[in-house]
Amino acid sequence: MLEMTIREKGCRGCRMCIDVCPTACFDFDEKEQKAVVAKVENCIACLSCAYICPSQVISHANIHHVKNFYRNIYFSRRMEKFL
Amino acid sequence: MDEVLKKRRALQETMNFMAALAAGMENVLGRGANSMTMSAGRNLGRKFAAEARHTNDLLEAIDEVRKVLIANNCLWNFELFKEQGQADYVTVNDKNESQIFLVFRDCMIRQALFRFGHPQYGSLCNMMTGFFIGALETIMGKKTNLEIRHAGENACLKVLTVQV
């Protein structure tokens, strides 16, 4: 099952993860002024929260990582001349 | 195996070329590029789904679209999505249309766009959206729309609406 965690100490309470999440997985703890995971079941693993977090404190486990073309070393070597 | 790798490399290079072409086209044609590519995708979807089984059931129709994609070697997997507490995948929106959320993970468009840092929501995304709704419209015989709700780095959330 998908797991999502926020490293509490690192969270600065900027709410960017809350704004970017399309399925409202996060909640904001007003007392602590930090984001918390509220509905992990809704997470589609788009990883937008992890990418946008300025402190890089959001991590996901047991998800499907899409393979990106730029990770293909053979392809990158061939494209080098155009870059 | 070598043959598969060779084909995959050729496909990846073609997709990257397409992404660069689409990004350039958007600059020249402006917003019109999106409607042009969506129209092209829709025509292709209609053509590919011409022989597909016709049905009025949305879930069955989505399965048919999946079969059309597989039959035409389009590796564009998607999953149905419902929020926690939601009873059914298919709901009715405020315009009285049937709607369903779809999650697209392995998308060759996204992978190609990211290769050179092109933005999402562009003309290539619209082409695939057009392909999907073209196929679905042929199968269901109803006006449909697939809207990109969220374009993420690892997955995209789209909402499919079908007029009753």
pLDDT greater than 70 at residue A80: no
Predicted pLDDT at A11: 95
Predicted pLDDT at B113: 80
Let me know: does B61 contact B80? Beta carbons within 8 Å: no
Q: What is the CATH classification number for the domain harbouring B54?
A: 3.30.1380.20
Gyration radius from chain B CA atoms: 16
Six token digits for residue B136: 């679905």
Per the structure, how many domains does chain B have?
1
Separation between Cα atoms, residue B16 and residue A69, nearest integer Å: 9
Q: What is the pTM of this model?
A: 0.83
pLDDT greater than 60 at residue A83: no
Q: How far from A82 is each of A75, A79, B9, B62, B116, CA to CA, in Å?
A: 12, 6, 16, 40, 11
Residue type, B80: L
Q: What is the pLDDT of residues A14-58, one digit of tens each?
A: 999 999 999 999 999 999 999 999 999 999 999 999 999 999 999
Q: Measured between CB atoms, does A61 come within 8 Å of chain B?
A: no
User: Between A48, A67, A68, which is nearest B152 by CB?
Assistant: A48
Chain B residues lying within 8 Å of A51, measured CB to CB:
153
Q: Measured between CB atoms, does B6 come within 8 Å of chain A?
A: no
Predicted pLDDT at A76: 59
What residue numbers bound the domain in which B122 lies?
Answer: 2-162
Six token digits for residue A27: 């909640």
Predicted pLDDT at B123: 83
Q: How many helices, marked H, and strands, marked E, lie in chain A?
A: 3, 4
pLDDT greater than 60 at residue A82: no
pLDDT greater than 80 at residue A12: yes
Separation between Cα atoms, residue A41 and residue A61, nearest integer Å: 13
Q: What is the pLDDT of residues B114-135, one digit of tens each?
A: 777 777 888 888 888 999 999 9
Interface touch B155/A44, C-beta < 8 Å: yes
Instruction: Give every residue of chain B whose pLDDT is below 70, as ranges.
Output: 1, 8
Predicted pLDDT at B4: 73
Touching A: B residues 10-49, CB under 8 Å: 12-13, 15-16
What's the CATH fold of domain A3-82? Answer: Alpha-Beta Plaits (3.30.70)
Long-range own/partner contacts, residues B96-101 (CB < 8 A, 24 or more apart): B96/B164, B97/B161, B97/B162, B97/B163, B97/B164, B98/B58, B98/B161, B98/B162, B98/B164, B99/B159, B99/B160, B99/B161, B99/B162, B100/B58, B100/B59, B100/B62, B100/B159, B100/B160, B101/B149, B101/B157, B101/B158, B101/B159, B101/B160
Touching B: A residues 8-27, CB under 8 Å: 22-24
DSSP code of A32? T
Predicted pLDDT at B75: 73
Residue type, B18: M
Six token digits for residue B91: 């709901």
Sequence ranges of the domains in chain A: 3-82
- Minimal CA separation from B66 to chain A, in Å: 19
Closest CA to B61 of B128, B140, B143: B140
pLDDT greater than 70 at residue A77: no
Separation between Cα atoms, residue B138 and residue B133, nearest integer Å: 8
